[in-house]
Amino acid sequence: MVIVSITPEIGLDELKTYAGGLGVLEGDKLYGAGDMGLDFLVLTIFYRDGYVKYRFNGEEPIPEPEEQPEEAYKVLKPDKQFKVVLRGEEIIVQPWIYSYKTARAVLFEAICPMWARRLTDRVYIEDSLEHQFLRYALLAKASAYYLKNRVGLENISIIDLEEAHTALTLLSLNNYNKFRIIIHTPGPWGHPGFPGDFIAREFGTFMSDYVSLTELALERLKDAIVVSKKQEDVIGKVFPRHKDKIRSITNGICLKRWMNPKLYKAYVENKADPSLLKEARREAREKLVMLMHKYKGNILLDNRPIIAWVRRLARYKRPYFIARFIEENPDINAFFLLGGKPHPRDNDGLNYARWFRRLHLRLSNVVYIHEYDISTAKTILQGSDLLLFTPFSGWEACGTSYMKALANGIPILSSRDGGVIEIVEDNVNSWLFGEDIRDFINIYSDPRAANIDEKDYEEFKKKLLWIIDIYNNDPEKYWEIAFNAYKTVPEKVNIINVLKKYYIR
């Protein structure tokens, strides 16, 4: 029986079809499912111009489309075109097939008319609310057509709706017993809603003046999954009427995709060894230094720790923690690697990019890698010495970048959020700071947020200074923590174990 996942984005090694963590996670699931021999089908959109890339005029970020690389068109195979109806017009849809062993992704591209073609230009970048709605209506209708006519509903065991954007599919298919919704964020961007007349026009049903897609899915489905244990509490408070149907399956990563090959081989063969870890980390550090030289020519690292903050630039992830720390400690014996890009219409995120760029230009011990993608992430998360993970408590559904670092024997300093608290033991395999908050505190309007931020920052600063001192003056302690991470974490975060919880009962 076919397992189906419908997602707004997917991060595959050869394609620019994702914006952040959800896409990368879905790619990891596909590769993991293929390795397990599962009949796994992902349905998503083929974004011709990817997400966004940046160039800088001094400190000013200039966003541009992100063209697909040549490799994308070598690994995709065209399937037979079909038609769906949007705005009363026939839309020609081109499905592209990406295959990995027994798993495959079908990426839908709108071909014509021209207004519909623009719906599949760039992930999460729209001109209007209607543009956003029509994009996900297209995904819903294309998915429904493909499942009914190319797969056969009788051949499907389960359909997972990844995030609420995909819940419009429920209006095109009535087999509710086969659907589940997977909630990947408590943040408002993950719970879109649309005017009822939009939905009535495209799906023939008027439900109310405004329809929340998360509420739509939770009302109709029996099963909702969140991606860490903590989120059972948080999402249960965000959607209290449905808390009894919410359960958790914590995210994982495709180890073969993200681990240093030497470390992965030793993990598979159960031959974890401290000397092997040091050798693999030394080689990975050399590769990382070569990457940093592309962004800054005159780098003198010596034996200083490379401390990385690399994530999507969004307010709740608190990039201002590391930027503030660097400004307060410009001469500290450490090197800082900053990475990530903001949504081009997120003013907060753009300001963080300017701040990171300013530090990059003014300080010799800072490099900002604004072209942060899967390839650079692999290099950074295998070659750094410490990863910082700083989300505001309650806002990070799970996160996976820290899993990738830990699996490579790179300790983290993290706030107590997402899946971290299921994996990290403070001062044993990494370090923690801040409160474990189970309420969803609005960081934009709740006056408590600023006080929590300041308290968290002070503990973050104190611990980071302490960790830098350990690295420089007590290396045996540092490598003990690092080896504990490598020894204890891979099995906990292996995507194979996650998929077993999802699909094998």
Question: 97 falls in which pLDDT band (50, 70, 90)?
Answer: very high
* Statement to judge: residues 163 and 273 lie in one domain: no
What is the residue-averaged pLDDT of the chain?
Answer: 96
Do residues 219 and 202 touch, judged by C-beta distance below 8 A? no
Residue 250 lies in a domain: no
Residue 6 has pLDDT above 80, yes or no: yes
Domain count for the chain, please give it: 2
Tens digits of per-residue pLDDT, 366-410? 999 999 999 999 999 999 999 999 999 999 999 999 999 999 999
Q: Taking Cα atoms as reference points, which of 253, 311, 154, 134 lies closest to residue 494?
A: 253
Q: Taking Cα atoms as reference points, which of 430, 434, 333 lies closest to residue 386?
A: 430
* Statement to judge: residues 44 and 160 lie in one domain: yes
Long-range residue pairs from 46-49, CB within 8 A, at least 24 positions apart, any chain: 46/17, 46/76, 46/94, 46/96, 46/107, 46/108, 46/109, 46/120, 47/9, 47/16, 47/17, 47/120, 47/121, 47/122, 47/123, 48/109, 48/120, 48/121, 48/122, 49/121, 49/122
Question: 175 falls in which pLDDT band (50, 70, 90)?
Answer: confident
> What pLDDT score was predicted for residue 146?
98
* Statement to judge: residues 177 and 298 lie in one domain: no
Pairwise CA distance, residues 450 & 445, whole Å:
10
Residue 249 lies in a domain: no
Question: Whole-model pTM?
Answer: 0.97
> What pLDDT score was predicted for residue 189?
87
Tens digits of per-residue pLDDT, 103-158? 999 999 999 999 999 999 999 999 999 999 999 999 999 999 999 999 999 999 99
Domain that holds residue 182: 2-222
> What pLDDT score was predicted for residue 411?
98
Residue 505 lies in a domain: no
> What pLDDT score was predicted for residue 297?
86
> What pLDDT score was predicted for residue 174?
83
Residue 372 lies in a domain: yes
* Statement to judge: residues 49 and 148 lie in one domain: yes
Tens digits of per-residue pLDDT, 214-234? 999 999 999 999 999 999 999
> What pLDDT score was predicted for residue 299?
86
* Statement to judge: residues 390 and 483 lie in one domain: yes
Tens digits of per-residue pLDDT, 271-293? 999 999 999 999 999 999 999 99
Tens digits of per-residue pLDDT, 28-79? 999 999 999 999 999 999 999 999 999 999 999 999 999 999 999 999 999 9
* Statement to judge: residues 291 and 214 lie in one domain: no
Residue 505 has pLDDT above 80, yes or no: no
Neighbour tally for 418: CB within 10 Å = 29
> What pLDDT score was predicted for residue 426?
97
Return the amino acid letter for 391: P
* Statement to judge: residues 176 and 302 lie in one domain: no
CA 172 centroid distance within chain: 28
> What pLDDT score was predicted for residue 496?
98
* Statement to judge: residues 359 and 314 lie in one domain: yes
- The SS3 of residue 44 is strand
Domain final residue pick, 169, 197, 222: 222
Tens digits of per-residue pLDDT, 453-484? 999 999 999 999 999 999 999 999 999 999 99
* Statement to judge: residues 347 and 475 lie in one domain: yes
Domain final residue pick, 203, 222, 241: 222
* Statement to judge: residues 185 and 309 lie in one domain: no
Residue 234 lies in a domain: no
Mean pLDDT across the stretch 19-34? 97
Residue 155 lies in a domain: yes
Pairwise CA distance, residues 65 & 53, whole Å:
6
> What pLDDT score was predicted for residue 418?
97
Q: Which residues pair with 329 in a beta bridge?
A: none
Question: Can you give the CATH number for the domain in which 302 is found?
Answer: 3.40.50.2000
Do residues 370 and 339 touch, judged by C-beta distance below 8 A? yes
Question: 7 falls in which pLDDT band (50, 70, 90)?
Answer: very high
Residue 230 lies in a domain: no
> What pLDDT score was predicted for residue 373?
95
> What pLDDT score was predicted for residue 410?
98
Pairwise CA distance, residues 417 & 396, whole Å:
6
* Statement to judge: residues 381 and 469 lie in one domain: yes
> What pLDDT score was predicted for residue 182?
98
Residue 237 lies in a domain: no
Return the amino acid letter for 39: D
* Statement to judge: residues 270 and 205 lie in one domain: no
Domain final residue pick, 172, 200, 222: 222
